[in-house]
Amino acid sequence: MSLFGLKFGKKKLKEEERQLQANNRDFNLQFEYANNSIKTSKYNFFTFLPLNLFEQFQRIANAYFLFLLILQLIPQISSLAWFTTVVPLVLVLAVSGVKDAIDDFNRHKSDKHVNNRPVQVLINGMLKDEKWMNVQVGDIIKLENNNFVTADLLLLSSSEPHSLTYIETAELDGETNLKVKQALTVTAELGEDLQKLTEFNGEVRCEAPNNKLDKFTGTLTLRGEKYALDNEKMLLRGCTIRNTEWCFGLVIYAGPDTKLMQNSGKTTFKRTSIDRLMNVLVLVIFAFLALMCLILAIGNGIWEYDKGYYFQVYLPWAEGINSASYSAFLMFWSYVIILNTVVPISLYVSVEIIRLGNSFYIDWDRKMYYPLNDTPAQARTTTLNEELGQIKYIFSDKTGTLTQNIMCFNKCSINGKSYGDVYDMSGQRIEINENTEKVDFSYNPLADPKFAFYDHSLVEAVKLNDVPTHRFFRLLSLCHTVMPEEKKEGNLVYQAQSPDEGALVTAARNFGFVFRARTPETITIVEMGETKIYKLLAILDFNNVRKRMSVIVRSPEGDLTLYCKGADTILYELLHSSCDSLKEETTEHLNEFAGEGLRTLVVAYKNLDEDYFQDWIRRHHEASTALEGREDKLSELYEEIEKDLMLLGATAIEDKLQDGVPQTIETLAKANIKIWVLTGDKQETAMNIGYSCNLLDDDMEDVFIIEGSTSDDVLNELRNARKKMKPDSFLDSDEINIQFEKSSKNPKIIPDEQANGVYGLVITGHSLAYALEGNLELELVRTACMCKVVICCRVTPLQKAQVVELVKKYKKAVTLAIGDGANDVSMIKTAHIGVGISGQEGMQAVLSSDFSFAQFRYLQRLLLVHGRWSYIRMCKFLKYFFYKNFAFTLLHFWYGFFCGFSAQTVYDEWFITLYNLVYTSLPVLGMSLFDQDVDDRWSMLFPQLYVPGQQNLYFNKMVFVKCMLQGIYSSLILFFIPYGAMYNTMRSDGKAIADYQSFALMAQTCLLIVVSVQIGLDTSYWTVVNQFFIWGSLSVYFAITFTMYSDGMYLIFTASFPFVGTARNTLSQPNVWLAIFLSITLCVLPVVGFRFLKAQLKPTPSDKVLLKIKEAKKRPPPPSPKRRLRRTSTRRSGYAFSHQHGFGALIMSGRNMRPKSPFATTGTFSPNSDKHKHKGL
């Protein structure tokens, strides 16, 4: 027996094959397969503290403060008390830890909710309610209609004929159309007989757990016979059972081994680019700190050797110090403690507070609140806000994110006349809105009450028995693969394989051609109140090459007719020459429909000759039973009969986009954000949506379609595309080619390349699998990133994550992934920022996301307003914070040259303690929480303002160096101006003022006023709070200073407040205030001058936009009219149905038919009856 998952000691072998036996837990337990419990959380009760602390100490600054704390515990070098570091460090770790704990608690809650769902498990011959988490491999479970599938199951039997089961796979691939699964005949016989199911002891051998959603291979051994298993017999976790009363399944993979969980990716610790930059900068500051300490330590060694040694009578060396070099060594560490304020721990406390505050703005934003389902926007992670202002690439799901996945029959063209538009009395077309009068279908008792149509003339045409109109709707009610359900009389529910088909059949139903029932041989239609049964003679099934489907029916009157619908490009080639003039009129209508982004189909018919048909059907039977070349023979026969068709008209279906999607995409494109759509849907559908929502348009130079079926084909297609976009990129002199010729295992960052026009790229999942391989990924990322838009279709959840990872690997850009289903979880986790839409596909995406809201259109506000503001505020904060702390700390450095390098502090100890904590903390927090260069309206009107964030212009290494130089310059002014002003100075009464305490007070007063003026210069948006914080901080400084330097405080706490009387003596002197004024002027004037000249002589794109806004504010623009975005296009939708090939054959075989509905042949309504005549339109 093979070992599969057996453990040797503690090591588990990699599973290569899975073996299990039904109803035999003892046998299956030996392989130690995972149970059905899932875990998305990061910590548990015991691992939280060590893991969280490990994550937090990855921040170099936190590790640095721990090191400082250890230094402060050594008495020989400690110049500050240990608690000055412990308290803030513990505070920072606690705040971050609590926040992480809350996030993980929510994940635990979500896991618990899923793991505790109930399911019926067959145990000892009885069905028992069990929790999902307790289900094990080899168990047989029962699922009922609308249940979620518990684990990956082998379908054994179901309530439907031939053990068919209908499932919806929206959570896996985003598609809401129904798919059919069928059990093996040998297990279908088990039915719901619990005795037989209990005795079932089949043994399954299959592949090890993997992430391939569309592939499964295995065998079932039962009573010595072997049966092949494939994906068509599997029900995967994440699917939902539909239209099936019950089914039984055998658990093959459980919990983390299921294909859904294998695709979901790992929860990673996300850090912003500013966080990563700060780690680098902190290292630079440490090096700078070490250099300063080394200079001062060397200075101390020289001074002690030269002067201090002979000065010991007055200033003896400390106990244990016996040489100048040892004194220098200790002084090095003393200065490390004193100068540590270049990276104050309050920096990290403030950063967390700013991020938290900006997160609350997102939570509180009423403009991102969706009232229809009471969903506010939510910042689920509070550490990534500023990254929202730097997004370069957006990876979006399609179904449920861009679209509502609701198809509406919107317009049609019948016999050269267009229907669907509404006109006023003067013949002008009017915009349809919620106030437009709808067509009243109350005369039709079988009408769908949810169906809305606004053009009354179409109903009039139906009522007037217009022959082409009747034939048009008759075709729609007959030519499809929809299954009807009628549990109550008149209450019809259509189960369509694609939402498009459902929309067309529902339209026919409302206009009086009600598809009522079907058997393998017949279709029952209620036509204008009269029940008619058509004989279904053949279904000429859809496939991706034909892009059409046809049915051949015999009417109750005996007429033979072929009805066909499909893509206009295909059907136009098959029309009879007599249709040429009608074809031109219909083409005009199709262009109009396509221009509005509607999905179009052309419909046609053909009356058949009886003798010809009999011959054709005989040949059709032979072809369908042929052992070789069956598909080709059938295709030839279909081509033969689908000729000389008579054109009836065209349909136009709207795949309803979410509100505001085209406008949002247009705005984001102006902000230089590239949008990639990653969808599990088919290529045709994805491209239609691309055109509908303005991603793709006819102004593009080209839209490349990559659909190669081999690695070489894909490489050639990608290279040809790149050659067209940028021929120079193949030259040896090309910068990127040179860069990658130098062999290196580390991936290189590819700089942005400009194409010679605007291009789009569409790639299928099959081709993408090759493109993501090692040797092709570079080609893919170079070609795709040159395009304005990329659409990846038929992709698996894991491929979505791989695409995101690829861009992260080769591009120095911030990525955002947005989706609403479980199939989007892996890319949401992989991207720098994950956004979940709380839509119709459950909450898995939201639970894994960093931010969530209800509508895609809120994304522009999240990025252009909240993201941009957060980024600007954080950059301003960091620039100011580093500046004020360099200015503050470097005074100690200059003072070292005047105090024998003795680690004497230049300021009063209380000022050092309160500088970052009280005097300068609130003004900078006020700016970082309330500042905005322009308000939200202008941010949305000028998306170009977003671009500097993408290029990281507001805070980078160069900006940091400028802050550092400004801090050094200010510290020189702030030290030497007070020093010069104090040197040998007399008071007005002739007493000396040049003492250490007076100098210290003057230096710290100058410093505080200068940094307060600087924050005033940095503030763009003044509020009462800002004013209060700045003036309040200065007032508090003077109040505390005069209090602490008073006689009373000295008498009470003599040792703690030695600066008695300094404030009133020093600050009463006019020359002191003159020196303060001079210091402020010299510090601020260069900054003001530089900013003014830069804005005048070398304005940035942002400066230009801000100037435009300033001018526009003088004459506010009128509110922009609400308009519906339309596009002009000559491209028409193809046959965009998500059909499974072969569904027609399934219907004709009757294997999916229920017993005949008792209501199927009833129906008595007539729109022209007396009863309904008064309900005119």
Question: What's the token pair of residue 140?
Answer: 């047989």
Q: CA-CA-CA-CA torsion for 1035, 1041, 1043, 1044, nearest 10 degrees?
A: 150
DSSP E strand boundaries for 667-748: 674-678, 702-706
Contact 340, 68 (CB under 8 A): yes
Contact 442, 1159 (CB under 8 A): no
**What is the DSSP-derived secondary structure letter of residue 867?**
I
**Residue of 189, 193, 236 whose CA lies nearest to 213:** 236
The DSSP H or E segment spanning 483 is: strand 483-488
Contact 549, 1147 (CB under 8 A): no
Residue 99 CA to residue 281 CA, distance in Å, equals: 25
Question: Which strands sit side by side in the sheet containing 164-168, from one edge to the other?
Answer: 178-182, 164-168, 240-242
Beta bridge partners of 144: 246
Distance, first Cα to last Cα, the chain: 76
Strands 178-182 and 246-253: unpaired
Question: What's the token pair of residue 1069?
Answer: 């002197």
Contact 853, 838 (CB under 8 A): yes
HSE value, Cβ hemisphere, 13 Å, CA-based, for 1103: 12
Question: What's the token pair of residue 87?
Answer: 């308290």
Question: What's the token pair of residue 244?
Answer: 């099936």
165 vs 121, 160, 1149, CA distance in Å? Answer: 19, 7, 16
Give the CA angle between residues 1003, 1004, 1009 to the nearest 5°: 105
Question: Which strands sit side by side in the sheet containing 646-657, from one edge to the other?
Answer: 417-419, 403-414, 646-657, 599-607, 560-566, 548-554, 530-540, 522-527, 513-518
Contact 514, 476 (CB under 8 A): no
From the candidates 152, 173, 257, 397, give the one annotated as an active-site residue: 397
397 catalytically annotated? yes
Contact 1003, 975 (CB under 8 A): yes
Residue 263 CA to residue 767 CA, distance in Å, equals: 19
Complete DSSP assignment for 896-940: HTTTTT----SS-HHHHHHIIIIITHHHHHHHHHH--SS-HHHHH
HSE value, Cβ hemisphere, 13 Å, CA-based, for 479: 27
Residue appearing with tokens 């893919």: 780
Give the CA angle between residues 83, 85, 88 to the nearest 5°: 100
440 vs 431, 443, 444, 458, 493, CA distance in Å? Answer: 19, 8, 9, 12, 20
Sequence letter at residue 44:
N
Give burial (CB, 10 Å; 0-12/13-18/19+) of 764.
buried
For residue 1092, the Cα-to-chain-centroid distance in whole angstroms is: 40
Residue 42 CA to residue 52 CA, distance in Å, equals: 10
Length of the chain: 1177
**Residue of 947, 677, 629 whose CA lies nearest to 792:** 677
Contact 604, 647 (CB under 8 A): yes
772 vs 266, 768, 780, 803, CA distance in Å? Answer: 20, 6, 8, 8
Angle, helix 83-115 to helix 346-364, in steps of 10 degrees: 40
Active site (catalytic) residues:
397
